[in-house]
Chain A
Amino acid sequence: MSLGGIMRRAVLIVLGLLWLLPTYLLLVNAVRPATEYDSDHIWTPSGFGFFDNVRIAWDAAQLGESIGSTALYAVVSPMAGVIVGALAGYAIVVLRLRAGFWWFMLIFGGTIFPTQMLLIPLFLGYSSNLLYDTRSGLILIYAAVCVPLAAFVLRNFFTGIAYTLYEAARTDGASSWRIFWRIYLPMSLPALGAVFILEFTFIWNDLLFGLTLSQSESVRPIMTAVSSLSSAYGGKSIPVVLAAGLFISLPTILLFLLTQRLFARGLALGQY
């Protein structure tokens, strides 16, 4: 091995070990039984109480309800969002909507607004329309946020499909509605899946919308629940908070490990 090769590996190993330190601390202290925690002995493992810690957090912050609600938001909203986005892409590309490009720009333009610009009117509007602190309110805003990216990706995807396919199906007497559901939507499943995964992660990790638009333990999303847990607790219960932080990250950790490449590519277009 060349000197350069050894140097490269050495730098990577030193940096890597440095990076593993917080990971190590997290694992050791999240599995430590809550009663064993002592702020002077955080570096050495003692016992295994991960599931007990999660259970304590679960009861204290009623994580169960939050997780159920969050799973609902993170599945239903991106599904609605990608289908609505796909319909728009289909209308623009396949049905050749007049001024299609401008419709597309209008929809895709939705990505440029920072969340902070939406919060106050959403809060005020939700409060006066009985959507505040409701599951349907959160599903609605999360779905809207998913639409622009879905329209962007699906528009690109449909552009790559030969128009003759549509014409042939029309000639056979299928309606454009039917062609969408039976031909175009199934064909675009890989693209839809990629968008779905990105949006799932975004919603699962969202804090701001949850913080602003919900309040009760059964409606508020999981990140909001955990952030309240971390401010309400101190001292002895650190293992509980850490276990909760780790536990709620499990779905995204799994998704990430399964789809690393997709994340990297998707990130470039799905940052907002």
Chain B
Amino acid sequence: MTKRSRRGGLASSDRLGGYGFVSPAVLLVAGLLYLPFLYTVYLGFTDYDGLYPASFVGLENFRRFLEDPALTTSVRNTLMWAVGATVIPVGLGLLIAVLSYGIRGGAIYRLPFMLPYALSGAGLAVIWGFILQSGGAANDVLGALGLPGATMRFLVEEPANTIAMIIALTWQQAGVNALLFLVGLQSIPKEPQEAARLDGATGWRLFRHVTWPLLAPLTTVVVGLSLVASLKTFDIVWVTTQGGPGRNSETLAVTMYRDAFVSAEYGYGAAVAFALSLVTGAVSFMYLRRQMSASKEGIV
């Protein structure tokens, strides 16, 4: 156990052996994650199209990127996803968790929200493609309730198609966010809430002044996770609308995929991917820092 035995002959041969144990992980990660990442960064500064050798074009892709009208739409949609697919599912998840926490049969009340989470992204897209089709279930419901939108072609018109898909994602994600908040509610200290309750605080005031501040670190984490995931939205858009019609529901992730693998413009696609990962990287970094402090406080 002492320092001496760690430095002894036994331990130092272990240490050499240690490189053998760690190398499969390092090789896999370096070869299939780091190397492609670096190569994408490089390609973003070239005009590689898969046929002719790549030549260096400097910032040309990024300049073109700023002038591309499809890109303006794509950035707008991505921002809509980032805000909508974060605020709505996290807000509803929090609401469901707080309302169902501590009441008898809470798990049963939560069940309707949990079922959609287990569906795959492609499964989700298939269902909502069916619900949102023109003259489909969404139109029926809005018509029956006398709300506007009974004749709206949800998957065709922009930005309705993006909003509709955000609602689809909300339907899937609210439950798992509720589950995360529930774990948080169970692990925050009980004393402050008891004390506040003794002082006569109930309902909204108890939540606003006691529970919410205690949940804040966890909320940061949940918001961060949703934000990073929604910035990279691909599956549901690709399967439901393929980014169309006329590229009007594309997100940056879809634009990147289309440019690279449909148009074979690898250089340009790599530049879009690079821009996308700069944004997600910045967001991840900000929330990871918060997550560190949250885990220090023992919340997560």
Residues of chain A whose beta carbon lies under 8 Å from any beta carbon of chain B? 4-5, 8-9, 11-13, 15-17, 19-23, 25-26, 29, 39, 42-43, 84-85, 87-88, 90-92, 95-98, 103, 106-107, 109-110, 112-125, 140-141, 143-145, 147-148, 151, 163-164, 167, 170, 176-177, 180, 204-205, 207-208, 211-212, 223, 226-227, 230-231, 238, 241-242, 244-246, 248-249, 252-253, 255-257, 260-261, 263-265, 267-268, 271
Q: Interface residues of B, CB < 8 Å — how many? A: 98
Q: Do A176 and B22 form a contact, CB below 8 Å, given A25-B130, A257-B118?
A: no
Q: A116-B276, A205-B120 are in contact. Are A8 and B179 (CB under 8 A)?
A: no
Q: Provide the bound-state CA to CA distance between A199 and B277, in Å.
A: 22
CB–CB A227/B125 < 8 A: yes
- How many residue pairs between the two chains, A and B, have CB atoms under 8 Å in the bound complex? 286
Is B26's CB within 8 Å of the partner chain A? yes
> Residue A208 contacts which of B6, B176, B234, B280 (CB distance < 8 angstroms)?
B234
Chain A min CB distance to B243 (Å): 12
* Nearest chain B CB to A154 CB, angstrom units: 10
Main secondary structure of the interface of B (DSSP, over half): helix
- Pairwise interchain contact B203-A122, C-beta atoms closer than 8 A: no
CA distance A264 to B66 in the complex (A): 40
- Interface SS of A by simple majority: helix
Q: Note all chain A residues with C-beta closer than 8 A to B235.
A: 207-208, 223
| Shortest Cβ distance from A143 into B: residue | B28
- B48 to chain A minimum Cβ distance, whole angstroms, is 9
Residue B159, interface by CB 8 Å:
no
Contact of B183 among A115, A176, A208, A264 (CB under 8 A): A264
Q: Does B79 contact A (CB under 8 A)?
A: no
A256–B109 CB distance below 8 A: no
| B127 in complex: contacting residue of A180, A242, A260, CB < 8 Å | A242
Do B118 and A271 touch across chains, with their CB atoms under 8 A apart?
no
Task: Other than A8-B103, A268-B221, give 5 A-B pairs with Cβ distance below 8 A.
Answer: A87-B22, A95-B18, A116-B253, A119-B273, A242-B130
Question: Closest approach, in angstroms, between the C-beta of B120 and any C-beta of chain A?
Answer: 4
Check A85 against B25 for contact (C-beta < 8 Å): yes
The 10 closest A-B pairs by CB, nearest first: A91-B21, A245-B126, A121-B36, A88-B25, A144-B32, A95-B18, A256-B118, A245-B123, A253-B118, A97-B18
Contact present for A271 and B229 (CB under 8 Å): yes
Set of chain A residues within 8 Å of B128, measured between Cβ atoms? 22
B240 to chain A, nearest CB (A): 8
Is B90's beta carbon under 8 Å from chain A?
A: no
**Cβ A4 vs Cβ B232 within 8 A:** no
In the complex the two chains form, is A19's CB within 8 Å of B266's CB?
A: no
Is B239's CB within 8 Å of the partner chain A? yes
Please state if A107 and B26 are interface contacts (CB–CB under 8 Å). Answer: yes
27 chain-A/chain-B pairs, Cβ below 8 angstroms:
A4-B202, A12-B96, A25-B130, A42-B137, A43-B140, A91-B18, A97-B21, A107-B26, A114-B280, A116-B253, A116-B273, A119-B261, A120-B39, A123-B261, A145-B32, A147-B28, A167-B1, A204-B120, A207-B238, A212-B257, A212-B261, A245-B119, A245-B126, A253-B118, A264-B179, A267-B180, A268-B180
Q: Which residue in A110, A144, A167, A249 is a CB contact (below 8 Å) of B5?
A: A167
Check if B292 is an interface residue, CB within 8 A of chain A: no
Tell me if B277 and A114 are in contact (CB < 8 A): yes
Stretch from B8-16, B146-154, B192-200 contacting the other chain: B8-16
0/1 per residue, B262-278, Cβ < 8 Å to A? Answer: 00001001100110110
Bound CA–CA A208/B238 (angstroms): 10
B99/A119 in contact, CB under 8 A: no
- Known contacts: A140-B32, A207-B238. The answer to whether A117 contacts B120 by CB under 8 A is no
Instruction: Determine if A97 and B19 form an interchain contact, defined as CB atoms under 8 angstroms apart.
Output: yes
Q: How far is the CB of B98 from chain A (nearest CB, A)?
A: 9
